[in-house]
Structure 1
Amino acid sequence: MLAGLIPLFWPALPPLSDLPGHMGRWHIEMTIGQSAVLAHYYAFAWAPIGNLGMDLLVPAFATVLPFEQAAKFGVMLIPLLTMAGLLCSAHEAHGPVPPTALFAMPLAYAWPFQFGFVNFALAQGLALCVFALWLRLGRQRRFALRATIFVPIACGLWLAHSFGWMMFCLMAAGAELARFRSEKRTWHATFIAAAVQGVPLALPLLVMVLASAGQGVRADDWFNWGAKSLWFVSILRDRWAAFDIACLVPIVLILYVAARSPKLGFSALLGWPALLFLFAFILLPRLALGGAYVDMRMAPAMIMLGLLAIAPPKGGGRFAQVLAVVAVVFFSVRMTATTVSFALRSVEQQRELAAIPTIPRGASVLSLVSRPCGGAWSDLRRDQLPGMAIVRRDVFTNDQWSLEGQQLLHIRHAAAIPYLADPSQLVYPSVCPDIGSNFVTAIREFPRAGFTHVWTIGFPPAALGRDLQLIWTNGSSALYRVRR
């Protein structure tokens, strides 16, 4: 587990795509009461929603650590909890932890985590940990105790992230189906008994139903097989496409060997949850309840559980030794590659963040970030970098999310309309202008009364107009002052 944290040791800012934007929001929620400037630009009011994991955790850590260190510490907890949950769940299902569990450990750095879905990733790690507790109490047949303590646990998971709670419900349901089927119950009796065991987990569902009353269910982009294929291929997506895809080969091979070899097999306690995750991956849309990439988040989880479900090799011997060596090599290679990738990304990000000291405190910054069509495999992780200007200079910038029911932050800076919130900071080539802004149009038409500065990331310095004065550049990005 400690070796699995090595990629995060070096970067001062963990190079996760959405993390700077989240850090901007956390800074606002912590300091808005003491900052008249932030209170002019933003409003924040606490409320119980299913997306508060790191929003609660990082401010707690910031009481004893500087804010940016507190955020990094919170991020480092995510893979630590994920790996702990994987090992503990494997122990509860098998007794001895099988060597194949090491194939699952690098998936703590899977694409949803690299994307910066930190609240979701935290909830997923917590869900894996409490799933091990669910299995343990079930093995000990302490069902009354389990039902009692999992009412607050389920609510806590939902507060961390509603999708993490849903994943835990699927894991618990799969484990109960496996347990009751092993007792030779009929399918009808099995489903009824499993549903009864799941009742203590259902309180967040009632909250969600009441909160969405009269609004309907918002979902879109169902059964997009092209996107789902991409999500699967991108499970280990990081920096080098050929390498990341090649690393899927041993994972697929070990699952195939486990299904075919008499020396291996699958634990039903983990196999059933993996199958339910597979069905969820197939059935879920890309967009739901205000969130994006909903189905994508299931892909690494179903593979992790599938790998955990592989039983320890029967009889030991040379086969078991070879399998263990291959697993250790795979884990070591992935962690080494992730460490190198994160170090390189940290250098790339710091080069862009050098603009922030030249921004006056309390400024209003129009951020325009260059993006390729469709997104490159090696994402430059700069879409939300302007959020660090909020953290360090108490500015307004147009990169914050404003999704009803997903964030508690509200943007009050009406003078910035239409460049108010994400994704207005994203600029795609003109051949794919489906979202975001057009660079030429934005420079020509942005409301001068709403912004004091323009920060162009990925656009070399240029003469953009008489009222835009260049004050900083690194050759590929630039910062301009708006002359009134």
Structure 2
Amino acid sequence: MTSLSASPSAPHPAPPVRRPHDLPPLTIALLFLGCLALVSIPILTHPIPPLSDYVNHLARMHVIAVLPQDPDIARFYYLSWSVLPNLMMDLLVPLIDKVVNIYTAGEIYTLLCFALITGGTLTLNRALFGVWSALPLIAFPLLYNGIFLIGVMNYYFGIGLALFALAAWSFLRDKAWPWRFAVSTAFVVALFFCHLFAAGVYGVGLLAFELDRLRQSRGAPLRPRLVAFVAAGLPFLPIVPLLLVSPTWGLSGDNYWEPQGKIDGVEMVMNVYFDYVAVLLTAVVLGAGVWAARHRLLQVHSLMLPLLLVAGIIYLAMPRVFFATYMADQRLPVAIAFFVIAAMRADLRHRLARRGFAVVLILLLAVRVGEVQVVWDRLTQWTVSFRQSVNEIKPGSRVLVAYADIQGGSDPRDLGLVHAACLAMIEKSSLVTTAFTVKGKQILRVHPPYRNQVDTEDGTPPQIEQLLVTEEEPTADGPRYWDLWPRTFDYVYVLFTERGAPNPDDDRLKLVYEGERFQLYKVIPPAAPPS
């Protein structure tokens, strides 16, 4: 049996063992497909999943696909293509939309992210240990996590690509250096266009890998070892000119660090909706790991220690907001979790070990998929209701989004409502104030006649009280996009309301639809001044 020990980074793939320490590759492949089918159930049964940013991104995909054919969309929006580290979804989903509807295209993209992450975990494990292993299949239950609920779809795609990038580096580490550097550079450029932080995740993994190599080659001459270590960073050089020509560079000064939330970022790896479910899954994983370790069935690659050290230091040092991107630091633990899984394998030659692994995998999958499915079934009632409310909006309207509760959206169950108003862009070709149109982050722009009527800073929508005080007078401390809103908007969505909440402004708002946690009002415009 293999023991719980750090296996060095071998210069060549390990020779195949005579006795099977793991499941046959075909069995692992079939299990992979079965697990992928199971985790796909919530996505396939909920065309509009209750994820925070997802609908907003999907609306932008729709705009890309229909411009310039849709006259209402073309009246409000245009595209400003540029070098942005946030483009992968924008490039892929509109192409898929040519053969299916936009909601199905979003589902296909999401499942592609799932397949990339789990396939990348398996492939990296194969590169590190030299044989295929079933243990990385435990990555499937982690696909649903706190970061996924935010709907950061470009970053999620990038996590999978980063896993494949490090696997390729491991496979090519002892091959001719031009191939290794060319492949790594190609991955870095692709990761940049996924998300800047995805390229950073690959950088963390590669730094840990090369630190491990440096430690393993202690007996060799120091100078060539250091040269090889430093040269490993050369594939990242294209990021510098790419950033300098990107409008994202204009956001480089928008950063701040805060200590609160570091623990929350780690909890997001396991926590989705219910704390007790996260505790149960964590206990199962730790219990199974301790049992396997005691029976010397668990093998840990030597990459694990430098990976945890490098990732831990970077995580503690990272700001909460980096390049104007919120939750910058909290995104890292989820990505590193998949690298950690890839750095382990189990000895499954004995029947008891195989049965134990099967029980743990099935339990983790059943609990996590069941949790998400049950919650999404309930939250979809809100989504269906919201989509029905959109039918009350006339095509080509201007829609303002406001909050009744300043704490709205902080509960994971509220995330699906945060950007739900963007459905009006898809269904009714409307202008929506919360659509992502931030220069340096997205390619979507608003034409000048309407640019002052939308949020171009990715901020929090106004509270209903703020609308009331700016109904006839602009904001005292500076212009806001909602100033004098009865003159510029046709509808107002008020989110995070209580059932039966009174009309906040009978003179200017007419209730046309009330759903769970939201209301849709038609704006009564002020009378035109006498000529």
Q: TM-score, length-normalised on structure 1?
A: 0.88
Q: Is 2:190 aligned against 1:156?
A: yes
The answer to whether structure 1 residue 207 and structure 2 residue 242 are counterparts is yes
Cα distance change, pair 136–213 in 1 and its aligned pair in 2 (3 A) = closer
What pairs with 1:313-328 in structure 2 (closer than 5 Å)? 313=347, 316=350, 318-319=352-353, 321-328=355-362
1:133 aligns with 2:168: yes
Cα offset for 1:130?
Answer: 2.9
Q: Which residue of 2 aligns with 1:467?
A: 508
Q: Is the 8 A contact 1:238 1:378 kept in 2?
A: no
Structure 2 contact 83–247 (Cα < 8 Å) conserved: no
Judge conservation of contact 1:415–1:447 (CA < 8 Å) in 2. no
Say if 2:120 is the partner of 1:88. Answer: no
* Matches of 2:242 and 2:207, distance apart in 1: 20
Q: Where does residue 467 of structure 2 map in the other structure?
A: 442
**Residue 73 of structure 1 corresponds to which residue in structure 2?**
108
Q: 1:416 touches 1:451 (CA, 8 Å); kept in 2? A: no
Question: What CA distance in whole angstroms lies between the structure 1 residues aligned with 2:124 and 2:468?
Answer: 53
* Alpha-carbon distance between aligned partners in 1 of 2:43 and 2:249, rounded to the nearest angstrom: 44
| Match among 357, 364, 372 for residue 330 of structure 1 | 364
Deviation at 1:124, TM superposition (A): 1.1
Taking the aligned partners of 2:348 and 2:104, their CA distance within structure 1 comes to 46
Instruction: Classify 1:22/1:192 alpha carbon distance in 2 versus 1 (closer, same or farther; 3 Å).
Output: same
Deviation at 1:387, TM superposition (A): 0.9
Report the secondary structure of 1:33's partner residue: coil
Choose from 228, 232, 237 the match for 1:193. Answer: 228
Superposition deviation, residue 288 in structure 1: 0.5
| Counterpart code for 2:434 | D
Q: Is the 8 A contact 2:401 2:421 kept in 1?
A: yes
Q: Provide closer, same or farther for how the CA distance between residues 315 and 152 of structure 1 changes in structure 2, counting only shifts above 3 A.
A: closer
Residue type of the partner of 1:462? P
**Deviation larger for 308-317 or 103-112:** 308-317
2:268 to 234, 238, 246: 234
Measure, in 1, the Cα distance between the counterparts of 2:229 and 2:200: 16
Look up the match of 1:431. none
Given the alignment, which residue of 271, 292, 306 partners 2:326? 292
Please say if 1:392 is aligned against 2:397: no
| Whole-Å separation in 2 of the counterparts to 1:198 and 1:473 | 55
Q: 1:365 to 1:179 in 2, by over 3 A?
A: same
Which position in structure 1 is the counterpart of 2:31? Answer: none
Q: In terms of mean alpha carbon deviation, does 315-324 or 116-125 score higher?
A: 315-324
1:49 touches 1:406 (CA, 8 Å); kept in 2?
yes
Which of 149, 157, 166 is 1:122 aligned to?
157
Deviations 1:323-368 (A, max 9, x none): 4532332233222322333333323311222101110000001122
1:378 paired residue number: 413
Partner Cα separation in structure 1 for residue 60 and residue 487 of structure 2: 24
Alpha-carbon offset, residue 110 of structure 1 = 1.9
Question: Deviation at 1:151?
Answer: 2.4
- 2:489 — aligned with what? 451
TM-score of the superposition, structure 2-length normalised? 0.80
- Cα 1:216/1:53, change in 2 over 3 Å: closer
Question: CA 1:103–1:213 in structure 2 vs 1: closer, same or farther (change >3 Å)?
Answer: closer
**Inter-partner Cα distance in structure 2 for 1:212 and 1:11:** 35
Worse-matched range after superposition: 297-306 or 440-449: 440-449
Q: Distance in 2 between the 1:332 and 1:419 partners?
A: 43
Structure 1 unpaired stretches of 5+? 427-435
Matched residue SS, 1:159:
helix
Instruction: Mark the CA change 1:358 to 1:421 in structure 2 (over 3 Å): closer, same or farther.
Output: farther
Q: 2:138 aligns with which of 103, 107, 111?
A: 103
Q: What SS does the aligned partner of 1:368 have?
A: strand
CA contact (8 A) 1:454 1:481 kept: yes
Q: Compute the displacement of 1:192 (Å).
A: 3.2
Supply the AA of the counterpart residue of 1:45.
S
Matched-pair contact (CA < 8 Å) for 1:8–1:342: no
Q: Say if 1:213 and 1:439 are closer, same or farther in 2 by CA, change over 3 A.
A: closer
* Superposition RMSD in Å: 2.9
Take 1:100 and 1:237, find their aligned partners in 2: how far apart are those partners? 21
The answer to whether the 8 A contact 2:434-2:454 is kept is: no
Deviations 1:133-182 (A, max 9, x none): 2222226x243222223323321121121111121122223223323432
* Fraction of identical pairs, as percent: 20
Instruction: Tell me the SS of whatever aligns to 2:440.
Output: coil
Task: Please name the residue that 1:433 is paired with.
Answer: none
Q: Which runs of 5+ in 2 are unaligned?
A: 1-35, 471-483, 526-531
Q: Give the secondary structure class of the aligned counterpart of 1:410.
A: strand
For residue 481 of structure 2, what is the aligned residue in structure 1?
none
Q: Give the structure 2 partner of residue 364 of structure 1.
A: 398
Counterparts of 1:269 and 1:330, CA distance in 2: 25
Q: Does 2:88 correspond to 1:53?
A: yes
Confirm or deny: 8 A CA contact 1:38 1:362 kept in the other structure. Answer: yes
Letter of the 1:135 partner, please give it. Answer: S
Q: Computing the radius of gyration over CA atoms, which structure comes out larger, 1 or 2?
A: 2
- The counterpart of 1:38, out of the listed 63, 70, 73, is 73
What are the residue-to-residue correspondences of 1:158-307 with 2, within 5 Å?
158-184=192-218, 185=220, 190-209=225-244, 211=246, 217-222=252-257, 224-253=258-287, 262-269=296-303, 271-307=305-341
Q: Say if 1:99 and 1:451 are closer, same or farther in 2 by CA, change over 3 A.
A: same
Letter in 2 for 1:322: G
CA displacement at 1:94 relative to structure 2: 2.1
1:430 — aligned with what? none
In structure 1, the partner of 2:377 is 343
Q: Quote the offset at 1:421 in angstroms.
A: 4.7
Rounded Cα–Cα distance in structure 2 between residues aligned with 1:371 and 1:259: 49
Aligned partners of 1:462 and 1:186: how far apart in 2? 77
| 1:12-31 superposed Cα distances (whole Å, 9 cap, x missing partner) | 21322111111122222333
Q: 1:466 offset after TM fit, Å?
A: 1.8
SS of the residue corresponding to residue 80 of structure 1 reads helix
Return closer, same or farther for 1:345/1:476 CA change in 2, 3 Å cut-off.
closer
Per the TM alignment, residue 59 of structure 1 is displaced from its structure 2 partner at its CA by: 0.7
Once the two structures are TM-superposed, the CA of residue 313 in structure 1 deviates from its matched residue by 3.3
